[in-house]
Amino acid sequence: MKTMKYDKELLKDGKRIDGRGIDDLRDMEAKAGILKRADGSGYFRMGKTEAIAAVFGPRELHPQHKQKPQRGILQCRYNLTPFSVDDRKRPGPSRRGKEIGKVSEGALSSSIFLEEFPTATIDLYMEVISADAGTRCVALNAGSIALADAGVPMKGLISACAAGKIDDTPVLDLKGEEDMGGQVDLPIAMNADTGEITLLQMDGMTDIDEMDEMLELAMKGCEKVAEKQKEALMETF
């Protein structure tokens, strides 16, 4: 739970520490097809948070006992690179990394026609190369681009973005300091075309009205993210 207090004011006259309003996203950049040897790849940046993603497959799944006879599976890896954070992160799998990989599988696989690939696997590797809050959202955005780039059949793109609460006010897309000093962080992922939410997590305490407000903000943010993702894919092909 968030208890740490930040010694600066995070919100002053409706402006945040980096000059954004309460419903502004950080500046975004998206690319597709950045890695030659992967079947599909993507890059996404939101402010100072950056991630690259690579897709391999559909391919044969080993060990065999993981195979599902009726459908394929999606295997996601989420990793913070050692140089992505201020203090060097010890490389290798962590509890947090494994957990985010797992929820990413859930967030993305609902959109993929996995029944077309019985016994096979689609492997998605998401590497955060620079972290400044919202890493799972940025990783998912890059991952979704990579899946489309690999030609994986999908219902639609998945776009992710976080909302939160700082100084008792719901705001969109927290950056590092806001995440540390804020009260709530609420990352979501959704299919922006249909409005189906595929990931919803929350850290901190809030009431139901405020949560609705934050959700609304985050969903609007996802729509803007989706536009950026589509732009990147259209440019590549």
Q: Looking at beta carbons only, is 119 or 201 nearer to other proteins?
A: 119
Please tell me whether residue 123 binds other proteins under the rule CB under 8 A. no
Tokens matching residue 100 = 């985010």
Euclidean distance between CA atoms 8 and 143, whole angstroms: 35
Query: Is 155 an interacting residue with respect to other proteins (CB under 8 A)?
Result: yes
Question: Which residue in 43, 44, 78, 117 binds other proteins (CB under 8 A)?
Answer: 117
Q: Is the dihedral of CA 192, 227, 220, 77 positive or negative?
A: positive
Q: Which is nearer to other proteins, 85 or 120 (CB)?
A: 120
Q: According to the binding rule CB under 8 A, does residue 157 interact with other proteins?
A: yes
> Closest CB to other proteins among 212 and 231?
231
CA–CA gap between residue 236 and residue 146 (Å, rounded): 12
List the structure tokens of 39.
């079947």
Contact between 153 and other proteins per CB under 8 A: yes
* Residue 34, both tokens: 């950045």
Residue 154 touching other proteins (CB under 8 A): yes
The identity of residue 75, as a single letter, is Q
Tell me the C-alpha distance between 123 and 73, whole Å.
9
118 touches other proteins by CB under 8 A:
yes
Give the residue from 71, 68, 74 showing the smallest Cα distance to 53. 74
Tell whether residue 233 is a contact of other proteins (CB under 8 A).
yes
- Is 171 within 8 Å of 164 (Cβ atoms)? yes
C-beta closer to other proteins: residue 106 or 118: 118
- Interaction pattern, residues 37-66, with other proteins; x per rule: CB under 8 A: --xx----------------xxxxx-----
Buried b (16+ CB within 10 A) or exposed e, 103-116: bbbebbbbbbebee
Nearer CB in complex with other proteins: 75/121 = 121
- In terms of C-beta density within 10 A (0-12 exposed, 13-18 middle, 19 or more buried), how is residue 90 classed? exposed
Least distance from other proteins to the Cβ atom of residue 84, Å: 29
By CB under 8 A, the count of residues binding other proteins is: 34
CB of 153 to other proteins, least distance (A): 4
Report the distance separating Cα 56 and Cα 230, nearest Å. Answer: 21
Exactly one of 119, 130, 169, 201 binds other proteins (CB under 8 A); that residue is: 119
Interface contacts to other proteins, rule CB under 8 A: 39-40, 57-61, 69, 72, 111, 113, 116-121, 148-157, 191, 193-194, 230, 233-234, 237
